[in-house]
A and B are shown apart, each in its own frame.
Chain A
């Protein structure tokens, strides 16, 4: 079939052609960017934290009337309170393991600093930033971390200090990511220096993976750089991670406030004090999941609206050209020729719109990068978007094209 008469015909109704092409272009631009946003968010949400996340509970609480000084007596009193709590939690039925912990991945409450291979380093941001976790010999077991080199902390390694006390630990465990960055030849047994200090800290163990607590973009340069110190941090508040037997988490969560009040009623436990890790994860990623859902819904409605627009306008054209179709049929065109005519016409319009749409899609991605810290969209998203709008156009044009094909040749002989 020659394209020439078709193009000549399209010129007759420029406005309709431009409207459909525009709609296709905008749809293509928005749909492939939206799908890319969905993909980015889903990828972010699916990152494993490095922990065994099931049957894990975090308890956060605050003592009332606990000492606030930094003198040794106050610190020892705070440590006693903390050890009493840990013992009480360990003694609970169905509890597998308990560790004090200043935070957990995705909790968005973190201690961060920088680590270096040399003493007194003038630390520069991004060099080797790290988050600090403070836990005891049960930290690994409770969080379900995987030790890949060296050894775990022993009970003898674990010390305690006030939270304003700057003393550096003599030994730590680090994540593989941080270990590889500092000591590509193997980190176990090596000394590193925390926060520009001059006292060496020996790396005794390396864990496969442990995400930092912060979910914000500012922490995106060191998401896997974690340092674990064998330490109970003493303040007027404390956190404990608790691992329960499978299937017993809810029961343990329910029993924890009673157990802690039993040890010492002078404390604050509120609605958020006992939280499953699942709830922490849900809170951390709520916005990301919501965003993905919104984009998904927008895409679906958008495709439906665009299809409806094509159906509407093509039907109008079919109506307008009722007689011409009849004439063509009378002159020997088969039904399939008529159908192909409208399908090819749609392909031309959609193709033209899609070319503009590709440019728009790339432009929109640029704008998102500039204003919203998005990343560059791989080109194949655009290709998938292109295929989607072309297929959508063909599906939408099918019904009006069939109707056109069913116009009887006899129409040519009627005046109206």
Chain B
């Protein structure tokens, strides 16, 4: 322990001996680690698994309802279902839980008649949505399957909307007015905002503000609650002359999810989807062989390319930049250590073992790394303020400084510098004491 402190002291003194060289190294490490950490802070959010405990049991369903000529390369079917298929799968009930959803953006009337109405965003969905995606409730509970079957005018609202409308009081049993239609509130969620929002990646809502309101999809369809999300007809002819036909048009607009606890369940479900498509083919609706996909959460996020290209390129480039900074550090440490060949020679001649030389110089490198890390920390904090310049506001606001990021910055800086110091230290330990003493 005393040697440790002694080497730390030696390191500190050595750093002060050639301040320019030291400053160069410290700055290179600081810039490298700061760039890597800033881009990493964004990457870790956008590439995270939003529901790790269940991501292998939740599956997104795709069915080819338009035919191969309209599909993406690889005969990839549309990324969402149309209404006909979504309802058919709901009714078939082949998974323990399943849900369909579409984006809505209704206006909401304030409780106080003097306030102006405002917009909310949310989903028209089914009761299973809340159990499947583990939505936490502050008051009340989800609506029931019976409510879905009965086309009930029920709603679940978010904590934030509850705060805005009811000042945070328990509003279960009260009414909320969306687009001039009244709904009975059955539940208020806790703040719930999984990132990325995997269940609605189809609508590019991965990093959007949290949803504020959920209503039963059967009711929403009855009273024409407008769809606010993406409607992709993929260039296929989509003709309809009345409301019923519009609803059943062969466009993709309804994300559909099934919860399948085991691999075997998933395989059985895929067989069911294939059989369903074959039925549609026999009925003459599809003029092509069954073409279905079943992807779990991680596969789905991957497929949807949820991680923005900007985030990956910038992380990629920052790490490259950090590596160059480290190569630079290796060179400078080598120069610094070799300049002290005679000092090493003396120490070795006086009985220092190679191991002790190693310890001394690695310690010195660690001191440089620590200094670089501290400066890097400051640069990271400054850089995080400017992150809005680099990423979309949706994404930028997710990146935040926390203890783990600060610690990682320091640890990465020190570790990387020590690793970079291995070679120069090894060279220093190879110094032959006799040769050094003689030549002087």
A319–B320 CB distance below 8 A: no
Taking the complex as formed, is A280 at the interface, i.e. its CB lies under 8 A from any CB of chain B?
no
Taking the complex as formed, is B310 at the interface, i.e. its CB lies under 8 A from any CB of chain A?
yes
Closest to B341 in A: A320
- Chain A hits for B303, CB < 8 A: none
Check A295/B317 contact, CB under 8 A, given A23-B331, A123-B236, A197-B237.
Answer: yes
B238–A305 CB distance below 8 A: no
CA of A289 to CA of B388, assembled, Å: 11
Taking the complex as formed, is B427 at the interface, i.e. its CB lies under 8 A from any CB of chain A?
yes
Interface residues of B in 206-231 (CB under 8 A from A): 223-226
Q: Which of B45-53, B124-132, B241-249, B370-378 contacts A (4 or more CB under 8 A)?
A: B241-249
**Partner of B310 from A19, A62, A267, A291 at Cβ < 8 Å:** A291
B243–A164 CB distance below 8 A: yes
B237–A290 CB distance below 8 A: no
B212 to A: closest C-beta gap in Å: 13
**Partner of A166 from B31, B107, B240, B314 at Cβ < 8 Å:** B240
B76 to A: closest C-beta gap in Å: 12
Interface residues of B in 92-121 (CB under 8 A from A): 105, 107, 109, 116-119
**Partner of B317 from A124, A298, A305, A306 at Cβ < 8 Å:** A298
Check A372/B313 contact, CB under 8 A, given A123-B236, A124-B69, A197-B239.
Answer: yes
A19–B330 CB distance below 8 A: yes
Q: How large is the interface on A (under 10, 10 to 19, 20 to 34, 35 or more residues)?
A: 35 or more
Interface string of B271-304 (1 = CB under 8 A from A): 0000000000000000000000000000000000
B interface size (C-beta, 8 A): 64
Check A26/B339 contact, CB under 8 A, given A293-B389, A302-B321.
Answer: no
Interface string of A138-178 (1 = CB under 8 A from B): 00000000000000000000000000101000000000000
- Chain A hits for B427, CB < 8 A: 15
- Chain A hits for B105, CB < 8 A: 62
- Chain B hits for A127, CB < 8 A: 235
Taking the complex as formed, is B12 at the interface, i.e. its CB lies under 8 A from any CB of chain A?
no
Closest to B28 in A: A305
A64–B332 CB distance below 8 A: no
**Partner of A287 from B312, B331, B335, B392 at Cβ < 8 Å:** B392
CA of A70 to CA of B224, assembled, Å: 9
CA of A339 to CA of B109, assembled, Å: 80
Taking the complex as formed, is B327 at the interface, i.e. its CB lies under 8 A from any CB of chain A?
yes
Interface residues of A in 225-256 (CB under 8 A from B): 235-236
CA of A196 to CA of B390, assembled, Å: 41
- Chain A hits for B328, CB < 8 A: 23, 305-306, 308-309
A166–B239 CB distance below 8 A: yes
Check A16/B390 contact, CB under 8 A, given A23-B328, A27-B324, A298-B318.
Answer: no
Interface string of A180-206 (1 = CB under 8 A from B): 000000000000000111000000000
Taking the complex as formed, is A324 at the interface, i.e. its CB lies under 8 A from any CB of chain B?
no
A327 to B: closest C-beta gap in Å: 15
CA of A315 to CA of B18, assembled, Å: 12
B226–A68 CB distance below 8 A: yes
Taking the complex as formed, is B352 at the interface, i.e. its CB lies under 8 A from any CB of chain A?
no
CA of A189 to CA of B66, assembled, Å: 33
A26–B331 CB distance below 8 A: no
A198 to B: closest C-beta gap in Å: 9
Taking the complex as formed, is A377 at the interface, i.e. its CB lies under 8 A from any CB of chain B?
no
Taking the complex as formed, is A412 at the interface, i.e. its CB lies under 8 A from any CB of chain B?
no
Taking the complex as formed, is A312 at the interface, i.e. its CB lies under 8 A from any CB of chain B?
yes
- Chain B hits for A397, CB < 8 A: none
CA of A16 to CA of B339, assembled, Å: 13
* Listed residue (A124, A290, A319) with the most chain B CB atoms within 10 angstroms of its CB: A290
CA of A312 to CA of B242, assembled, Å: 77
B179–A196 CB distance below 8 A: no
Check A312/B24 contact, CB under 8 A, given A19-B334, A26-B327, A291-B310.
Answer: yes
- Chain B hits for A164, CB < 8 A: 240, 243, 246
A295 to B: closest C-beta gap in Å: 7
Taking the complex as formed, is B173 at the interface, i.e. its CB lies under 8 A from any CB of chain A?
no
Taking the complex as formed, is A274 at the interface, i.e. its CB lies under 8 A from any CB of chain B?
no
Interface string of A310-330 (1 = CB under 8 A from B): 001101100110000000000
Taking the complex as formed, is A335 at the interface, i.e. its CB lies under 8 A from any CB of chain B?
no
B107–A312 CB distance below 8 A: no
Extra pairs beyond A290-B390, A368-B313 (10, CB < 8 Å): A120-B237, A125-B69, A195-B237, A268-B107, A298-B321, A301-B35, A302-B324, A309-B24, A313-B332, A316-B334
Interface residues of B (CB under 8 A from A): 21, 24, 27-28, 31, 35, 69-70, 105, 107, 109, 116-119, 179-180, 223-226, 233-243, 246, 308-310, 312-314, 317-318, 320-321, 323-325, 327-328, 330-332, 334-336, 338-339, 389-393, 423, 427, 440
**CB pairs A–B below 8 angstroms (28 shown):** A15-B427, A34-B317, A63-B107, A64-B109, A68-B225, A112-B235, A123-B70, A123-B236, A124-B69, A124-B70, A129-B235, A166-B246, A195-B237, A195-B239, A197-B237, A235-B226, A286-B389, A287-B390, A290-B310, A305-B27, A308-B28, A309-B24, A309-B327, A309-B331, A313-B332, A313-B334, A313-B335, A316-B336
